[in-house]
Each structure stands twice: as structure tokens, then as C-alpha cells.
Structure 1
Amino acid sequence: MNIFVKSVAAHLQGVAMTGLVLFLAAGTVNYWQAWTYLAVIAAVGVLTSIWFLRTDPEVLRRRLPAAESRRSQKLVVAASFALWGGLLAVSGLDHRFGWSEVPTALCVAGSVLMAVQMGLVALVLTQNSHAKVTVGVDEDQPIITTGMYAVIRHPMYACTALQTVATPIALGSYWALAVAVPIGAVLVTRILDEEELLCTELPGYADYAQRVRHRLVPGIW
């Protein structure tokens, strides 16, 4: 199957699963915040795939869903999926029972922020085409030290953190923001484990980590 078709199919499958969780939890499809959110991530995801098909198809191949090989990362991924499902479910339940009153403008801003976040992910992949969905080092993989990597060591994970905050707002749920806290803890665990591997298997990474001091948030961590 064409790599573009595989990429788009995988992305839209994720969008569909997201919608399923949201609408089941909400108990209705009359949930405009969810429809807006889903439309944004579907559209930007397809546009991004078109962009990389034209500029660097290998990025699409590396970003296809794949299983982690390290046991520690398998546990991290399992926890991440469970917590992300929880965040979506709480958002849907919030809509069903009316726990939060998020202004329309703020919900729209959340979806716009998601589009920005996905654009930043595309920028990260443009600057580092070796960024995979799994933790590992490719043969002859270079260390990227320019662009966003000159500011923080893990810009892709910074985008993930932004997604975790933007999603509840876009879906109209303040309560779902509480799930962002354990997701953040799992993200930190993933980063620390990945850095242990990179320092061991990617020549020069330890020196790079000394030069670029912050992992996720400039000036903080």
C-alpha cells in the first residue's frame, strides 16, 4: 500500500477512535466542540501528510504506528493510552452532565491551538526527520542541534504537552485538565528513559545535553 495512503488511513483511524470515545462518553453526537476538534485534527493531519509526501516521504514511514521494543517504554505507552482515553472520556462526560461552562471563544481557541500544535509537530519533523513514534536510534542517525533543538532537547514532547492542555479546552472541559497532570508525569518518565538510551547509543548526545540544558520547557526543565 502507498505510504501516503497508510499514513492517512492510520491518522483517520485515530481520529475515528477519538470520536468514538468522545461521543460514547457524551451520550450524544450533539457535541459541536468535539466535531470542531475532530475536523481540525483530521484536516491538519491530512494536509501534513500531503506536505511530507511531497518533501520527505520517509517521515511518513517513520511515523507509522509501531510497537516499542523496550519494556519500560511499553509500560509508558500503555499508561499514556489509558490516560489519554481517560482525558477524552472525562471531556465527554463533562459535556453530558454539564460540569464545566467553558466559553465558546475559549473552545474555539483550543481547537486553533491544536492546529498550531500540529503545525509545530510538522516543523519538528522537518528539522529532524529521524523522529519516530518509538524510542530508538537509527543507524548513522545524526544529532540535530539547530532550530527548535537549539532551545530544548525534546521539542516533539513539548508539542505533546501542548496537545494535552489544548484538547480539554477545545472539548469544553475544565475537569479533563486534571488528567493532564498524570499524563505529564508519564511524559517525564518517557523522556528520562529515552535520554538514558540516547546517551548510551547516540554518539555525542551527552555533550549535546550539556550544551542544551533544558529538555521540555526553556528556562525551567
Structure 2
Amino acid sequence: MDDKQLSQSELIKMVFARLLIVIPLLLAMFFLPAGTFAYWEAWLYLTVLLIPMVLVLIYLLRNDPALLARRMRMREKEASQKLIVKLGSLYYLLIFLIPGFDKRFGWSNVPVVVVIVADVLVLLGYGMFFLVLRENRYASRIIEVEQGQEVISSGPYAIVRHPMYLGVSLMYILSPLALGSYWATIPSLLIIPLLVARIRNEESVLGRELKGYKEYMQKTTYRLIPGIW
């Protein structure tokens, strides 16, 4: 369904439907492998993850429902992106499943201070994600160029070309430590080459279809990390 056809009530129903899937799924992925609810790292992580998520959803419903509708789209148009999404989904699944088994069998002994710092950085990553949503109302979940879309070069986009990916990568790479697992960092690091491939493909699409994007790439030289890449 096109986002222009979605009424406020329809969008709210979609949001609640997604939450009714996501929240029980997260609970199952954390606590079933752990075999216990006495898993404080998971409870803290869920708090850090879900409270900002709900606040951002409320903000978008009130201030930019069209952007929220774009964020609901899941189907990629590019064949290469479909493969990247499938592999990424597998890695995300491992990131959230391994820590529970780690908790059950005591594979890792992550210090409390490391867990807390990781949660703070996850929250920081979500904050960066929110700043991007405020700056770019065309920040769709999938790679596409819409009619009337313009190049955004202000705010975080003046520093790097893909600030949303920077925030999201910070969240996912630090999530294993926030959940008290060293072993889950393996699939989290495997996300990096997928992210690089996605960025390169996205820039190819935007450079071809979005007017002014090639000039923006020349002006803002770093893709993800200032001074590095």
C-alpha cells in the first residue's frame, strides 16, 4: 500500500501490529535460550531499545506520518539488496540468540561496566538514528528514489553521507556486549562487509537517479566515519 493512501488509523494499526510481533519475538530470543528470566543484561537492553523506539514512533505519528509509512516498507527493489537483507537478517538473529545461550552456559564473563557502557553507546546510536529521521523525511528503510525527493546535505549529512548507517551499526555492533556476550560479537562484526556493500550499491542508485547526489558526494567525502571512510 502506498504511504499516501494510509490514514492515521491505518498507520497506527500497522505500528501496533509490528510491535505485537517484535516485542514477544525479542523476549523469546533472549529468555528462551537463557532458560531463565534472571538475565538482567537482557532486561536493561530491552529498556534501552524499546523506550526510545516507542518514543520515536509516537514522534513520527504526530509529526511525520509519511516518513513512518516509508519506514514500514520492507521489500527491496534491487536484487543485490535482497541478498544483503537476507544475510543481514541471519546475522541479526544470531546477535540476539547467542547471548541467551552464552548466559545459560556461562561462556562469557563481560564486566558490568562494559555492559553499561555498551548500553549507553547503543542508546547513542539510536539518538543518531533519530536525528537522521528529523533531518531527512525521505529516509526510507529500502533503497529507492521518490518523486520530489531532494538531496539532504545539512545536519549529520554535512559530516558523513550515511549517518543513519553509522547510528545503526553502532547499535548492532555493541548489542552483544550490552547483552553480556563476547561470542555474539562475531556475527555483529560480519554485518560490516554487508553494510559496505549496501552503501556502495545505494550510492550507485542515488547517483544515477537522484539529481544533485553526485555533487553531494564530491562535497561530503566521507561515507560513514569522518576521517576514515
1:76 corresponding residue in structure 2:
84
Residues 1:219 and 2:227 aligned together: yes
Which whole-Å CA distance do the structure 2 matches of 1:11 and 1:135 have between them? 23
Post-superposition CA distance 1:155-188 (Å, at most 9, x none): 1111121012221111011221122221111111
SS of 1:175's equivalent in the other structure is coil
2:134 corresponding residue in structure 1:
126
> Which of 17, 23, 42 is matched with 2:25 structurally?
17
Corresponding letter in the other structure for 2:158: A
Spell out the pairing of 1:161-180 with structure 2 (5 A cutoff): 161-180=169-188
Residues 1:41 and 2:42 aligned together: no
Which whole-Å CA distance do the structure 2 matches of 1:24 and 1:69 have between them? 35
Moved over 3 A (4+): none
Cα distance change, pair 107–12 in 1 and its aligned pair in 2 (3 A): farther
Cα distance change, pair 160–120 in 1 and its aligned pair in 2 (3 A): same
> Structure 1 regions of 5+ residues with no counterpart?
none
Deviation at 1:2, TM superposition (A): 3.5
* Preserved CA contact (<8 Å) 2:61 2:68: yes
Cα distance change, pair 121–9 in 1 and its aligned pair in 2 (3 A): farther
1:62 corresponding residue in structure 2:
70
Which whole-Å CA distance do the structure 2 matches of 1:83 and 1:145 have between them? 31
Which whole-Å CA distance do the structure 2 matches of 1:195 and 1:8 have between them? 33
1:203 corresponding residue in structure 2:
211
1:154 corresponding residue in structure 2:
162
Deviation at 1:219, TM superposition (A): 0.6
Residues 1:135 and 2:143 aligned together: yes
Question: Under a length normalisation based on structure 1, what TM-score does the superposition of the two structures give?
Answer: 0.93
* Preserved CA contact (<8 Å) 1:23 1:29: yes
Post-superposition CA distance 1:34-83 (Å, at most 9, x none): 12211221111111111122222222111114211211111000000001
Which whole-Å CA distance do the structure 2 matches of 1:38 and 1:92 have between them? 13
Post-superposition CA distance 1:108-162 (Å, at most 9, x none): 2322322222222111000001001111111110000011001100011111210
Cα distance change, pair 37–8 in 1 and its aligned pair in 2 (3 A): farther
Which whole-Å CA distance do the structure 2 matches of 1:21 and 1:65 have between them? 24
Deviates most, 74-83 or 115-124: 115-124
Deviates most, 185-194 or 87-96: 87-96
Corresponding letter in the other structure for 2:143: V
Corresponding letter in the other structure for 1:35: W
* Preserved CA contact (<8 Å) 1:12 1:42: no
Corresponding letter in the other structure for 1:118: Y
Which whole-Å CA distance do the structure 2 matches of 1:13 and 1:112 have between them? 26
> Structure 2 regions of 5+ residues with no counterpart?
1-8
SS of 2:184's equivalent in the other structure is helix
